[in-house]
Structure 1
Amino acid sequence: MRKSPSRDRILVTGGAGFIGGHLARALVASGEEVTVLDDLRVPPMIPPEGTGKFVEKPVLALSERDLADVRLVYHLASHKSVPRSFKQPLEYLDNVDSGRHLLALCADAGVPRVVVGSTCEVYGEADELPTPESSPLSPRSPYAASKVGLEMLAGAHQRAPGGPEVGVVRFFNVYGPGERPDALIPRLCANLLTREEIPVEGDGEQRRDFTYIADVVDKLIALAGRPLPPVVNLGSGRSFSVNDVVHVLRKSFPDAEVVRKASRPNEIAEFRASTALQNRQIGPRPGAVDLEEGIRLTLAWWGARDLDDIRQRIFQEEGAD
């Protein structure tokens, strides 16, 4: 995409978070001028050094002046915990309100392009696997419902004349170093290292389309350099069960105990992305990290951390949920 001389900056909201932080560091490494916006209400697992200029404030505090020289926004700021959304559903209205505010500002400030982060959770229990973008939206949690609301706002801006080019990306189970232990793979890694146990909810046969963080960042950068589709899945097109993940982890810790936990409310049996549109937009991406290698890299990252810090992180997440 050609840069305008007066619009050279990229803004990443939620840029101290898991996906946002990795994306911002990759953009900076490629020579881009990046501003990261994050209110730090959730302490980041990796400090935001190396992500560009850091601004600590919420999306709702953004002004039109903040966007004056921005050519591209990645809107990744979000409340994201599915279990927590059942206990604190009203907090997740912020996902909709922040998106409303940001999209309106981008239109008023003349920002050319906005990539809005959404989730495969909007599909609920999909009738079709792999699931194409045209599938009905059937959210089964307050978190997923908030992302449907955000997508509806994005759709309204897509139809408005003269506004920014807006594209929605639906992430499918992104994992890797720096993800908080409220998500599946880091939770298993953290418990394995501190308690020598692997907690599995339900029978472990629920399946997910796991995509390693470096591959997602590559796709986000490639996507923003081409015309944005209204909605696109970002996934691998393959699914693995939780028991498959456990099998990989036990190669490193064969004596670890598998501890069975209660199933989550409204658990989805399987998420698996149709990648046909993704591949048409950006082409097949070479060198994707397979699940076994991605888990090995994630476990190594957790293994290099201080055990007391890991225990504290687990305690915080268990207390919040």
Structure 2
Amino acid sequence: MTATQGTASHYTILGATGFVGSHLLRHLRQTGQACLAPGRDEDPALLGDLGHVIYCIGLTADFRQRPLDTVDAHVCVLRRLLAKATFTSLTYLSSTRVYANASDTRESASLLVNPNEAGNLYNLSKLTGEALCLHGGRPHARVVRLSNVIGPRADPDTFIDQLLAEGARTGAVHLRTALASRKDYIHIDDVVALLARIARSQQGGILNVASGQGTSNAEILEILSREAGYVCTADEDAPAWQFSPIDITRLQETYGFRPRDFQEYFPSFIQSQSS
């Protein structure tokens, strides 16, 4: 099965000042694509035909401190877009965080959330946005669940960013999670190239965009020690993250995706951040 290209000639990036949105906008313009990038105070529904919309609006690290803004970003802006806007296709960016504590990470899996836990607000709002996108009555809408994306950020706030900041500041990195803990990481360049193709396809439903394999904390520390010379340690008996590998079978079969290996791109990313 292959992806069939849509006919619209331009893209609209919502959330173009954020991490993924800014890299996506740059990639599309560098490849000669026409792009709209509405500001935060603009109503995209008033801008006419939006072409292929890629919805990158979202909160990440600060969602616990901004619960109302989180729901607005993940659900309310989307609702207004679906009600009023003219577009050829809509690609809504969600997150593989919704698989927290799940053993099945296929796109068709049933997921559990607990509203009693503050951290579940992120997952609940993303899943609400996903359902609204898929069942809001507009054709050619789909969901992309993104993994942990590696790349230069204007406001570094991820686990990897924190390790690099600590190493640059002190010459050492100390972990409070187990060395055996694993997460799925994917490079921003792979992400934006995929999003450009997905947005123009006729594929619907949900699609995992991830590497499909976990990288352990031990592997990360080994690269930091070798490439940056940081002294790397970890707490004994530290708690371990429990994340199941992300299933990317549909991504591979539909788009022929072959992710770059973490060991390949992470050393050069370290050097770029220290220069």
For residues 252 and 88 of structure 1, do their structure 2 counterparts lie closer, same or farther at Cα, with a shift above 3 Å needed?
same
User: 1:211-241 CA deviation, whole Å, 9 max, x = no partner?
Assistant: 1111111211222232122100001111112
For residues 234 and 176 of structure 1, do their structure 2 counterparts lie closer, same or farther at Cα, with a shift above 3 Å needed?
same
Amino acid at match of 1:134: S
* Alignment pair present for 1:143 and 2:122: yes
Q: Which runs of 5+ in 1 are unaligned?
A: 38-55, 305-321
User: 1:112-171 CA deviation, whole Å, 9 max, x = no partner?
Assistant: 10000000111221123xx211112224522122111111211222xx2xx341010000
* 1:86 paired residue number: 64
Does the 8 Å contact 1:9/1:69 carry over to 2? no
Does the 8 Å contact 1:186/1:298 carry over to 2? no
Does the 8 Å contact 1:125/1:268 carry over to 2? no
* Alignment pair present for 1:279 and 2:233: no
| Mapped partners of 2:71, 2:111: distance in 1 | 18
Amino acid at match of 1:236: S
CA RMSD between the two structures: 2.4
For residues 214 and 151 of structure 1, do their structure 2 counterparts lie closer, same or farther at Cα, with a shift above 3 Å needed?
same
* 2:167 paired residue number: 192
| Mapped partners of 1:194, 1:178: distance in 2 | 18
* 1:34 paired residue number: 35
Calculate percent identity across the aligned residue pairs: 23
| 1:206 shift after superposition | 2.3
* 2:214 paired residue number: 239
* Alignment pair present for 1:303 and 2:266: no
| 1:260 shift after superposition | 4.4
Match of 2:51 among 56, 59, 71: 71
* Alignment pair present for 1:119 and 2:95: yes
| Mapped partners of 2:176, 2:79: distance in 1 | 35
Amino acid at match of 1:269: Q
User: 1:54-76 CA deviation, whole Å, 9 max, x = no partner?
Assistant: xx324xx415221x132100000
Structure 1 range deviating more: 71-80 or 176-185: 176-185
Amino acid at match of 1:296: P
Amino acid at match of 2:141: V
Structure 1 range deviating more: 232-241 or 190-199: 190-199
* 2:205 paired residue number: 230
Residue aligned with 2:254, SS: helix
Residue aligned with 1:274, SS: coil
Structure 1 range deviating more: 70-79 or 140-149: 140-149
| 1:273 shift after superposition | 1.5
| Mapped partners of 1:141, 1:239: distance in 2 | 22
| Mapped partners of 2:110, 2:232: distance in 1 | 39
| 1:179 shift after superposition | 6.4
| Mapped partners of 2:270, 2:124: distance in 1 | 32
User: 1:55-102 CA deviation, whole Å, 9 max, x = no partner?
Assistant: x324xx415221x13210000010112xx3334433321221122122
Amino acid at match of 1:238: Q
For residues 217 and 63 of structure 1, do their structure 2 counterparts lie closer, same or farther at Cα, with a shift above 3 Å needed?
closer
Does the 8 Å contact 2:178/2:241 carry over to 1? no
Residue aligned with 2:202, SS: coil
| 1:245 shift after superposition | 1.1
Amino acid at match of 1:154: C
Does the 8 Å contact 2:227/2:270 carry over to 1? no
| Mapped partners of 2:265, 2:156: distance in 1 | 16
* 1:156 paired residue number: 135
| Mapped partners of 2:83, 2:220: distance in 1 | 42
Does the 8 Å contact 1:117/1:168 carry over to 2? yes
* 1:9 paired residue number: 10
What are the within-5 Å matches in structure 2 for residues 170-181 of structure 1?
Answer: 170-178=145-153, 180-181=155-156
Residue aligned with 2:257, SS: coil
For residues 137 and 263 of structure 1, do their structure 2 counterparts lie closer, same or farther at Cα, with a shift above 3 Å needed?
farther
For residues 104 and 271 of structure 1, do their structure 2 counterparts lie closer, same or farther at Cα, with a shift above 3 Å needed?
farther
Structure 1 range deviating more: 24-33 or 270-279: 270-279
For residues 255 and 178 of structure 1, do their structure 2 counterparts lie closer, same or farther at Cα, with a shift above 3 Å needed?
closer
| Mapped partners of 1:143, 1:260: distance in 2 | 28
* 1:57 paired residue number: 40
